[in-house]
Structure 1
């Protein structure tokens, strides 16, 4: 009986799965065209899955091993099941391998069941709660029907009335498992992520994220530029179909694990954003319908079931129901914690900024002080609306060398718009003191420097960003320098990672990295730290965006400081709340993000929190009920300098070796 019915069942399920796959592909292809490398992407998919994806999954060792056993066992068992029971190739080693792989899958499914017995709040429930049973049904059913094929059970066991009944039960169990595992991949259900996820890895929006070395060390964090010269090109994303097709594919790959939800600062603060829900809303929009079936945590203070959309309907409606509220998009700080934690490597921030671009460029719907800041950038080249000619007033007594007078220098010091802020001027003064103590040949642009455009771009005003960037690039092209150094991670990121598309390729260093190099080259000498307990706050745009975690800590170590690490530090550092224009749009929540971060500081017992970003300084110093002092690394270094040390003798670049050679 099974010899006849099993092949029919298997190939019928495969046919339905193929129809579902075509249907799913058509949903993705509603999106705009995107250039991908078809064959190279498919060829790279196994490595991206086994190395890059599992580099993220492996942060939870138990779930990593569970996933290897369950997913690996399923893929191997499915292929072997087709060969053994579909084509009747049970002789030899194939039948035994099928027993082994289905057994491994069953063991993995037990751990999945344990995980789902009392799941954490971040995990979606609903259909996902039946997944352990479906995994067990597939693995146990395949295991049982294979036993007679390898001679471990007599063939006559399935004969007679009792045997036929047993065979029918086994057939139903296998059909249950096959339906969930294979048909569900294309028609919807928990296993949808397996099909979409594999192709998402092959045709990822950012293939440069994937490493050619073991460990998944690829990095790609710069926003993609809009083509403002093409009148047919959309200015941002108004409706789901405006996303590129591989972005829609990426949304469909979401496994609803909620890792993004668990690390999102806006969600923790009670603002109306949950990155997992946002991605699921985009899937709803792609297929059409409402969010009534969503079985995870909602947006704070936003009930499930009140949002709906369609592929060609607006994502954010000016009137009536839509997929998301505008406040959801403006709550994001663009910290990339969600992207860093996503095991499927989905690009949440890209999607949010794409949708912001439409609201800003097409409708001028930038909330809070957003419109005022953008107007200031257009009129005065700085977000505060200050007189551009006053950029250097704070440094009148420092006699800073100007590029317009020098023409070239070893280092171009990028001041950033912190030059207009009295608090950040202290950091800049400290950094200048350090550079002079190390004998660095540096110069500044002075009044020729404009805002880097970071705020404009994150607020969705691509036109203003590109205008600022092109004018800065034109100014920089007039001078010769080896690298740009800045104490602002946002300028550091934009200059180093986002100007390239517009023709500006520069070597850019954060001041902590440069100070660490100067110390290693023997050009700085410090007195030992005699202060209290110190912790360090990782800026998002330095750490997660650019992978610089060690240099600031090395500088603090050189000062004799043993850092008391916060629980959320390094790539899992909590955002200060100052990025992405969040302080400008100012969407209210139940608490403030910087208050939560200073709570993390308080847990360490630190008297001082070292920072490396002017926005982090402003946000953390704004917490009124904290006793911890906030100081930039440059200030700590400047205070610790040993005056008159041999390394502090300045000199022109022509008389010294380049820094890279000194370090080497």
Structure 2
């Protein structure tokens, strides 16, 4: 009796202590998140968001993109849910020697054994993937392994508690407790003895202490995602994917714009940091990381998280670690030292293997993110509250390596947003510090002065119309009752290669009898490039100028061949007053083909592979319209690349990188063209002027331009509609109605 009372008191003490330490760890990290800025709009949880939340959390929608990893996690996830009921039963019986009054108790025991065995198998497979397969995206070391040991120990304790319980009660073997019965049978010599009783309580306490240890460890590790990921997924914005938050540029009290300190991120952005599970899926698909650049999306989140934890502890004067005595005390900031010890991989000449390889970037990040010691020389490392976000935590090199393709976000199973954080830090560099790579600065200056990145005269914007043979292109002044505004864009107006795409599109629209007009020299840059590069002020000027022009001419429908313009007009201009339908040229052309207004009657005997534009695909979910056009062309064979659709790799031009030279690792467009060449195409099709340029340049660098051509979907459709000579286009001369 005394032993049972003592056991009960000790159990209460252990549980109370564990709960207290858990509460402290969670509350302190909660306080760090609360250092961030308050969100502008109240949270609304509607049915659509509820369905998406349930699909991600309970259906593992994104996790199952990697089927083996997803299935493993699914087993652990639901196994733990089942085993929580068993944990209550184990603790209850150890305290009171009475089973929980559950119906069909023997079947309940069977469910516990199945769940424990399944989780053990899944954890074994997790260890094999990390240390056997050695997946490039997964970290190795004691920190990633400790949770595997926790879970394995927990599962074994469940099975051994059940086995010794059967021995102490001398219960016969049962088909409804096969594993416990087998273990008990192997130790049948101690059945009914004091040894069985002692071993039962030894494993009972092991189960309880592992459970409580795991509870305390979780919020202080990457496994905090067990609590934060459901919340993070629930708080995911209802805005279109990738829509950037606007800045209040008229705030006279603002000392800076953008994010130059971790606490100036929003609270939701800071919650992202603690939701990260360090699975590496983001880095695995990142075009920058895959070609040896400094940027790794996973390390971006992890470095920001560690910095937030250190700085938050310094600001709140509350240690991040609970219990504090278990962790070394060190008030030095963990900083990024790119010029010190990072290995040469990821800088300069490409040293990876294959088409893409994240290992050089992973090694560089591992070498450079650390607590400096005396061997570093120079000035002592800053204290956490003094460490600069851009310089000591993130480097400008990393921020400017991002193509804003959002493949990282599309793969993230916990709903993290990487791109908005990068753009916010770019905004700080551009608007507050005036720091921009010289070639990027040049492009933005030219946009500001002449409305295009090359600095060509504004008065030459409509000069391309003089090169058309047989089709008159009216301006909005000449055809005031137009139905569709063709927004040509800077590439379509000035770039010699993209002008051919514009010509094909115009001929197709004219042939189909579409009443369209252009703005001519009144057209301005869409502002996408300045915005993604962080120049919110220049973007705002472009947006306001364009919207004023649209209103002046009563624009109701806009078609554009540029996915970047399409995305900006469709999702970001409405905030500034745009009220018009926005259509990508592939959507328009696919509709005209379906309606029979365009008939692709001439065979185009090519083997084509289609490269998905990030801003048309991942940003806007438009994958089928370009493919519908290609499938409608007689004689054309469509071959998909291994990375296509939602997981297509970026061409390397997004986020303003179209106007900046790659200086590290392998060129992204070369890697993408290599992926295309793997399916032996004769044509690489695209639906974006940036992508077209990058595919052509990549083909030339690989000396494949003689055998593989880069074509826009509109050019291929024009060849099918008009034939090789294009004479049919002239029949519509002057009939743009």
Question: Shift of the alpha carbon at 1:450?
Answer: 0.3
Question: Shift of the alpha carbon at 1:82?
Answer: 4.2
| 2:494 matches 1:420 | yes
Question: Shift of the alpha carbon at 1:66?
Answer: 2.2
Contact 1:267-1:300 within 8 A present in 2 as well: no
| Residue in structure 2 matching 1:90, options 83, 100, 103 | 100
Contact 1:21-1:185 within 8 A present in 2 as well: no
- What corresponds to 2:209 in structure 1? 175
Deviations 1:105-159 (A, max 9, x none): 5413422322322231201223112222211222332454467889995599797
- Please give the alpha-carbon distance, in whole angstroms, between the structure 2 residues aligned to 1:324 and 1:513: 40
TM-score where L is the length of structure 1: 0.88
- What corresponds to 2:65 in structure 1? 59
- What corresponds to 1:639 in structure 2? 719
Deviations 1:583-628 (A, max 9, x none): 4333422211111111112111111111111111111111222231
| Residue in structure 2 matching 1:236, options 258, 269, 287 | 258
Point out where structure 1 has 5 or more consecutive residues left out of the alignment. Answer: 209-218, 654-664
| Residue in structure 1 matching 2:544, options 470, 475, 490 | 470
| Residue in structure 2 matching 1:535, options 609, 629, 632 | 609
Deviations 1:66-124 (A, max 9, x none): 22221222234336534763697712249664762564154134223223222312012
> Cα–Cα, structure 1 residues 106 and 26, in superposed 2: closer, same or farther, change >3 Å?
farther
> Cα–Cα, structure 1 residues 601 and 25, in superposed 2: closer, same or farther, change >3 Å?
same
| Residue in structure 1 matching 2:226, options 194, 204, 213 | 194
Contact 1:339-1:347 within 8 A present in 2 as well: yes
- Please give the alpha-carbon distance, in whole angstroms, between the structure 1 residues aligned to 2:228 and 2:191: 40
Question: Shift of the alpha carbon at 1:478?
Answer: 1.6
Once the two structures are overlaid, the 10-residue window that deviates more, 296-305 or 500-509, is 296-305
Contact 2:242-2:419 within 8 A present in 1 as well: no
> Cα–Cα, structure 1 residues 39 and 485, in superposed 2: closer, same or farther, change >3 Å?
closer
- Please give the alpha-carbon distance, in whole angstroms, between the structure 1 residues aligned to 2:690 and 2:495: 11
Contact 2:167-2:196 within 8 A present in 1 as well: no
| 2:300 matches 1:278 | yes
TM-score where L is the length of structure 2: 0.80
Deviations 1:424-478 (A, max 9, x none): 1111011000001101010111111100001100110000001110111111112
- What corresponds to 2:27 in structure 1? 22
- Please give the alpha-carbon distance, in whole angstroms, between the structure 1 residues aligned to 2:103 and 2:164: 14
Helix, strand or coil at the partner of 1:641: helix
- Please give the alpha-carbon distance, in whole angstroms, between the structure 2 residues aligned to 1:390 and 1:445: 12
Question: Shift of the alpha carbon at 1:637?
Answer: 1.3
> Cα–Cα, structure 1 residues 521 and 312, in superposed 2: closer, same or farther, change >3 Å?
farther
For these two proteins, the number of residue pairs brought into alignment is 634
- Please give the alpha-carbon distance, in whole angstroms, between the structure 2 residues aligned to 1:43 and 1:13: 38
- What corresponds to 1:129 in structure 2? 145
- Bigger Rg, structure 1 or 2: 2
Contact 1:270-1:300 within 8 A present in 2 as well: no
- What corresponds to 1:305 in structure 2? 369
Deviations 1:543-596 (A, max 9, x none): 111111111011011112221111111111111111111243334222111111
- What corresponds to 1:658 in structure 2? none
Contact 1:488-1:510 within 8 A present in 2 as well: yes
Question: Shift of the alpha carbon at 1:634?
Answer: 1.0
Helix, strand or coil at the partner of 2:498: helix
| Residue in structure 1 matching 2:334, options 287, 290, 302 | 290
- Please give the alpha-carbon distance, in whole angstroms, between the structure 2 residues aligned to 1:311 and 1:50: 39
Helix, strand or coil at the partner of 1:346: coil
CA RMSD of aligned residues (A): 3.1
Question: Shift of the alpha carbon at 1:331?
Answer: 0.4
Helix, strand or coil at the partner of 2:76: helix
- What corresponds to 2:182 in structure 1? none
| 2:660 matches 1:614 | no
Question: Shift of the alpha carbon at 1:514?
Answer: 0.7
Contact 2:138-2:280 within 8 A present in 1 as well: yes
Question: Shift of the alpha carbon at 1:327?
Answer: 0.3
Once the two structures are overlaid, the 10-residue window that deviates more, 512-521 or 37-46, is 37-46
Question: Shift of the alpha carbon at 1:163?
Answer: 2.4
Contact 2:168-2:197 within 8 A present in 1 as well: no
| 2:110 matches 1:110 | no
Contact 1:41-1:202 within 8 A present in 2 as well: no
Contact 2:510-2:736 within 8 A present in 1 as well: no
